């Protein structure tokens, strides 16, 4: 994610011609009564090419179905809402794990159980091959409003050369055998370098995700969950002692231990550039960073798992995933169903795995030779292949965007070191008021 949770990767502003069988539409044409199936999604330029390869293969197998693409701007949720309110809802919609519930709650998304009921063979195949944690993310009030299409959970990239130069042993390779907070901190300290004046020349750890979500992920990895229950929660655990302790550990990395840059340090250079240029040994992020890092000259790259606290049973990533949904108002539901089946099914997922752009969500694609070949530079491949099943949920609620705004405001002082993480108990009260709204 970058910026807001629904903007996980870089934004593409504007629409251009994208490929055979998949022509870009201007926004005003979205959902017009023609024969083309419209597909709304968000991607950076490199990811667009990967998606076009999948769309072209679908068109080759289904020449009777033309697919036209609509690329989102910086606020895809608002854009989808505007399209659908104006009666021009795209047929197939990219769905984000944290925001789809608001669309489903307003009746904008089709319950895909209605399609599964008429396609028992695919339903059985999907049930057997799916990673349950991801599939269940898109279940809301008894409905299945999207199928997952890629995993975008967070883990750690690390620079093998910098580890070796500092004499730091290689980090763990498995989610069920992670390093502890203390072991992680010890490594980060050893990997942080300073010149004679005390200025940092190499950071032990940088974060390329959204800091307040990252802090929450450290809270989750200290043995608690984000909410009770997962779907339509009545309480978010910002006041939980273990959650607070994990958040404080994350904040202390920069403010107390000085192994991670502060917001002021990030003004002169982005955390992405710090890692790419060898000025940081570890970088937290998701697979969407993989392409940038692998293209960096001289970056000896591998991946490892997140650290966990003493009360956690192994380490967890977050359930970061996008899915494909069908608009409830679509006049082309059967064509849309064929497209969603293809992209989220074995063939489409195999293509996703082979692209090196995404982590697929079906077990068969995760463990395929094609995915391994596309990630030949990764020694610890189990971090990626086991990551989806080792992901802890984030709350599913129609009011998440309101909660996100409250988090942004309340986490800021904690992450800057001007307030302790215990101050988040006030945030918990504010969030609970939002959740109680009818």
In Å, what is the CA distance from 273 to each residue of 163, 191, 208, 298, 375?
A: 18, 17, 10, 13, 22
Strand partners of residue 397? none
Cβ-based neighbours of 177, under 8 Å, separated by 6 or more: 314
pLDDT at 283 over 80: yes
Helix axes 181-191, 241-255, angle to 10 degrees: 10
**Residue 34 above 70 pLDDT?**
no
Cα 162 to the center of its chain, rounded Å: 27
Centroid of chain to Cα 373: 23
3-class secondary-structure state, position 244: helix
Q: What are the structure tokens assigned to 434, written together?
A: 């939002």
Count of residues making up the chain: 438
Whether the pLDDT of residue 117 is over 90: the answer is yes
Q: What is the pLDDT of residues 87-97, one digit of tens each?
A: 899 999 999 99
Sorted by where each starts, the structural domains of the chain and their CATH numbers stand as 22-152+319-366 (3.40.190.10), 154-317+395-436 (3.40.190.10)
- How far is residue 153's CA from residue 356's CA, in Å, rounded to a whole number? 15
In the structure, what pLDDT confidence band is assigned to residue 9 with cuts at 50, 70 and 90? very low
How far is it, in rounded angstroms, from Cα 424 to Cα 243? 10
Per-residue pLDDT at 71 exceeds 70: yes
Chain segment 175-213, per-residue pLDDT in tens: 999 999 999 999 999 999 999 999 999 999 999 999 999
Mean pLDDT of 423-437: 94
The structure tokens listed for 392 are 């802890």
> Given a cut of 50, is residue 16 above it in pLDDT?
no
Question: From CA 128, how far away is CA 143, in angstroms rounded?
Answer: 19
**Helix (H), strand (E) at residue 202:** strand 200-202
Interval 408-432 mean pLDDT: 96
Partner residues linked to 122 by β-bridges: none
How far apart, in whole angstroms, are the C-alpha atoms of residue 141 and residue 23?
Answer: 35
CA 348, 101, 229, 4 torsion: positive or negative? positive
Under the banding of pLDDT at 50, 70 and 90, the label for residue 228 is: confident
H-assigned helices in 167-210: 181-191
CB 276 within 8 A of CB 292: yes
Give yes or no for residue 3 having a pLDDT over 70: no
Tens of pLDDT, residue by residue over 303-350, are 999 999 988 889 999 999 999 999 999 999 999 999 999 999 999 999
């Amino acid at each position: 994610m970058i910026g807001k949770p629904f903007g996980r990767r870089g934004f593409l502003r504007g629409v251009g011609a994208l490929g055979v069988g998949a022509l870009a539409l201007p926004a005003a044409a979205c959902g017009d009564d023609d024969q083309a199936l419209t597909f709304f999604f968000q991607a950076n330029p490199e990811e667009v090419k990967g998606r076009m390869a999948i769309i072209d293969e679908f068109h080759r197998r289904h020449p009777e179905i033309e697919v036209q693409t609509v690329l989102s701007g910086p606020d895809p949720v608002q854009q989808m809402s505007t399209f659908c309110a104006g009666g021009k809802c795209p047929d197939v919609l990219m769905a984000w794990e944290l925001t789809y519930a608001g669309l489903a709650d307003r009746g904008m998304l089709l319950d895909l159980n209605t399609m599964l009921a008429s396609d028992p063979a695919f339903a059985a195949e999907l049930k057997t091959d799916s990673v349950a944690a991801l599939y269940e993310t898109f279940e809301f009030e008894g409905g299945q409003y999207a199928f997952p299409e890629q995993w975008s959970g967070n883990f750690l990239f690390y620079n093998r050369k910098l580890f070796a130069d500092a004499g730091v042993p290689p980090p763990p390779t498995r989610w069920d055998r992670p390093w502890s907070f203390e072991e992680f901190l010890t490594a980060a300290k050893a990997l942080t370098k300073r010149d004679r004046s005390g200025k940092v020349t190499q950071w032990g750890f940088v974060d390329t995700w959204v800091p307040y979500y990252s802090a929450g992920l450290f809270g989750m990895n200290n043995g608690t969950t984000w909410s009770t229950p997962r779907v339509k929660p009545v309480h978010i655990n910002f006041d939980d002692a273990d959650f607070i302790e994990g958040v404080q550990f994350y904040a202390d990395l920069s403010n107390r231990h000085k192994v991670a840059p502060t917001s002021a340090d990030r003004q002169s250079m982005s955390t992405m550039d710090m890692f790419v240029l060898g000025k940081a040994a570890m970088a937290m992020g998701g697979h969407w960073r993989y392409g940038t890092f692998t293209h960096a000259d001289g970056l000896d790259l591998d991946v490892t798992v997140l650290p966990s606290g003493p009360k956690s049973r192994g380490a967890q990533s977050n359930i970061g995933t996008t899915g494909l949904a069908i608009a409830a108002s679509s006049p082309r539901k059967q064509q849309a169903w064929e497209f969603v089946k293809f992209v989220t099914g074995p063939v489409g997922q195999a293509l996703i795995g082979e692209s090196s752009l995404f982590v697929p969500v079906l077990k068969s694609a995760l463990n395929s030779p094609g995915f391994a070949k596309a990630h030949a530079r990764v020694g610890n491949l189990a971090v990626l292949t086991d990551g989806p099943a080792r992901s802890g949920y984030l709350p599913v609620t129609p009011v998440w965007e309101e909660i996100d705004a409250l988090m942004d405001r309340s986490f800021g002082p904690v992450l800057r070191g001007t307030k302790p993480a215990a101050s988040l108990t006030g945030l918990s009260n504010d969030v609970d008021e939002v959740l109680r709204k009818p």
